């Protein structure tokens, strides 16, 4: 078995017949090995020989070579897709009556479950209890979506709970794999840059005169809240955009940014410490309203520790947070205004590349100098493309189009959604001001610890997180644009 594989357990729901489509999306977005275990029930709907086209390893439950504990130990992340009611129940109860159940019980980290069953089964109280138990144990259970589903017994397509779209599922699993990989020594730098480091705050004092372990210091200029979200919707991004724009506009907060990070979204506000109670009350009121509207499952306060060493110290972080604020506003607007179903497939890609061009220009990174930025992203951020993947003919065609579009940005602008140009122009205006202040106030100082290319590389990691750009696409961009000089001189 491969080490650090993304392992998928396919159970015997009728949705298993769709698994090859999901496997194809996973293959496109993952850089880790893909391992698949088919339960006995799943083999009624899909055959191992079919899955072998997409996966590095395929096992059936009765394979003598399959060792469930090794399957668990050698997995970077495990997902159950689709997950039947029986699987949810056995996992919640800690049963180990089959190879799949044993592997799930032996897993050391959280598992992602993608339930698939009819409405009556999904809404049954026993199912809800099992889902709640799994979530309480730290696992991730993704709620089904409403979609057209073929009901065999009715011989017709009906609106019913269904698996999310393949691209969404692949993104969730790829993000979980990236998060798990961030715990390794090789991914430590990328983890710090992409996610930040903060301590959860399970204990909050109710008295302003009593400071308990886990409470933020009264002088802390930051508030952070972790919102539990399975998959952020345009409505959620729009609500955050409206509130944050008002908070920034009236000076209630000085900076704001978000990251996509378990349990869903982490929201960070820079404030005047004297205003902490008032701002906290306002933000938590918003979060409670989002819970009532079903856009957020729950939330907890947390402590934000700025990544000063990554960006060269406190002086540099002032500009970094301004960049993060402008970046967050752009992506809140993008995700709110452009529902995924209505986007061109390349819209996010095009928006990101155009924003990166503005960032590099603002930091004085011109000509071929950006190649060093891509090189740093590959080495420090672990955004590297496997040689076999890079040599694939289809990937080569995409890379050629990417190089062309990077050299001719008007081609990228043509791919933007309707509100994209306006969001991009606001970003460019902000970067022109912030970039000059960052350059004059830090990069030209004798005390500067990092240069603009280093800062740009780690800024882009955060930027791609907010864009929800799949890790595979990040690696492809880094590989392609970082290799332009080699190709030009070959």
At 426-473, the pLDDT tens digits run 999 999 999 999 999 999 999 999 999 999 999 999 999 999 988 888
Q: What is the pLDDT of residue 251?
A: 93
How do residues 256-268 score in pLDDT, each as one tens digit? 999 998 888 999 9
Cα separation values, 217 from 116, 221, 284, Å: 45, 9, 18
- Is the pTM higher than 0.75? no
Beta-strand ranges (E) seen in 248-370 are 255-261, 264-270, 298-302
pLDDT of residue 335: 94
Contact 26, 170 (CB under 8 A): yes
| Residue pLDDT, tens place only, 261-287 | 888 899 999 999 988 888 999 999 999
Query: DSSP letters of 195-247?
Result: H-B--B-----SSTT---TTPPPTT--EEEEEEE-SS--HHHHHHHHHHHHHH
Greatest alpha-carbon pair distance for the chain in Å reads: 74
- Which stretch of DSSP H or E encloses residue 384? none
pLDDT at 185: 34
pLDDT score recorded for residue 192: 38
Taking Cα atoms as reference points, which of 96, 138, 155, 87 lies closest to residue 116?
87
pLDDT at residue number 482? 85
Burial-class residue 213 by CB neighbours within 10 Å (0-12, 13-18, 19+). exposed
CATH code of domain 198-304: 3.30.70
User: Cβ(111)–Cβ(139) under 8 Å?
Assistant: yes
Give me the mean pLDDT over the 337-355 stretch. Answer: 77
183 compared with 175, residue with greater pLDDT: 175
Q: Please report, rounded to a whole number, the percentage of residues in the chain having pLDDT higher than 70.
A: 85
Beta strand 264-270 with 255-261 is antiparallel
Segment 365-417, tens digit of pLDDT: 988 889 999 888 887 767 766 666 666 777 778 888 888 999 999 999 998 99
pLDDT at 186: 36
Mean confidence (pLDDT) of the chain: 84
301 DSSP assignment: E
Fold for the domain defined by 5-181: Rossmann fold (3.40.50)
CA distances 226 to 175, 365, 408, Å, are 17, 35, 40
Q: What pairs with residue 36 in β-bridges?
A: 8, 58
Identify the pLDDT of residue 216: 41
Domain limits, the chain? 5-181, 198-304, 310-489
- For 12-21, how does the pLDDT look when each residue is reduced to its tens digit (9 = 90+)? 988 888 898 8
CA distance 388 to 183: 26
261 Cβ neighbours under 8 A, 6+ residues apart:
179, 194, 195, 196, 465
- Residues whose CB falls within 8 Å of the CB of residue 332, separated by 6 or more in sequence, listed in order: 237, 238, 240, 241, 244, 258
19 touches 55 (CB < 8 A)? no
Residue of 162, 171, 168, 126 whose CA lies nearest to 144: 162
């Amino acid at each position: 078995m491969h080490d650090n594989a993304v392992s998928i357990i396919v159970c015997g729901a009728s949705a298993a017949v769709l698994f090859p489509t999901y496997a194809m999306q996973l293959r496109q977005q993952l850089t880790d090995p893909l391992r698949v275990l088919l339960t006995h029930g799943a083999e009624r709907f899909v055959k191992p020989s079919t899955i072998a086209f997409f996966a590095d390893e395929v096992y059936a439950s009765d394979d003598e070579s399959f060792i469930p504990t090794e399957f668990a130990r050698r997995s970077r992340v495990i997902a159950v897709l689709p997950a039947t009611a029986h699987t949810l129940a056995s996992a919640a109860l800690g049963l180990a009556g089959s190879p799949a159940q044993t592997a799930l019980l032996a897993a050391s980290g959280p598992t992602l479950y993608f339930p698939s069953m009819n409405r009556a089964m999904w809404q049954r109280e026993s199912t809800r209890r099992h889902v709640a138990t799994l979530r309480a144990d730290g696992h991730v259970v993704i709620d089904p979506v409403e979609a057209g589903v073929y009901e065999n017994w009715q011989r017709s397509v009906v609106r019913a709970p269904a698996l999310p779209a393949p691209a969404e599922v692949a993104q969730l699993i790829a993000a979980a794999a990236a998060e798990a990989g961030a715990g390794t020594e090789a991914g430590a730098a990328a983890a710090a840059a992409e996610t930040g480091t903060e301590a959860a705050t399970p204990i909050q004092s109710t008295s302003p005169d009593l400071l308990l372990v886990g409470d933020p210091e009264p002088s802390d200029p930051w508030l952070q809240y972790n919102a539990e979200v399975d998959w952020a919707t345009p409505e959620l991004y729009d609500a955050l955009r409206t509130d944050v724009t008002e908070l920034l506009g009236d000076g209630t907060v000085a900076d704001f940014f978000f990251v996509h990070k378990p349990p869903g979204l982490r929201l960070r506000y820079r404030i005047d410490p004297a205003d902490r109670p008032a701002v906290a009350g306002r933000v938590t009121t918003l979060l409670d309203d989002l819970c009532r509207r079903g856009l957020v499952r729950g939330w907890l306060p947390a402590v934000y520790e700025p990544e000063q060493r990554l960006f060269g110290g406190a002086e540099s972080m002032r500009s970094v947070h301004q960049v993060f604020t402008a970046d967050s506003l752009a992506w809140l607007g993008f995700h709110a205004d452009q529902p995924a179903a209505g986007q061109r497939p390349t819209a996010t890609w095009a928006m990101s590349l155009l924003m990166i061009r503005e960032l590099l220009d603002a930091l004085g990174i011109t000509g071929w100098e950006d190649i060093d930025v891509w090189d740093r992203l590959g080495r420090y951020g672990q955004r590297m493309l496997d040689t076999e993947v890079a040599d694939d003919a289809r990937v080569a065609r995409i890379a050629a189009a990417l190089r062309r579009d990077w050299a001719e940005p008007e081609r990228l602008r043509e791919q933007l959604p309707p509100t994209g140009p306006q969001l991009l122009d606001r970003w460019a205006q902000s970067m022109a001001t912030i970039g000059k202040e960052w350059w004059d106030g830090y990069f030209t100082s004798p005390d500067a610890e990092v240069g603009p290319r280093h800062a740009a590389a780690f800024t882009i990691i955060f930027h791609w997180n907010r864009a929800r750009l799949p890790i595979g696409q990040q690696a492809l961009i880094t590989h392609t644009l970082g290799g332009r000089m080699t190709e030009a001189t070959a």
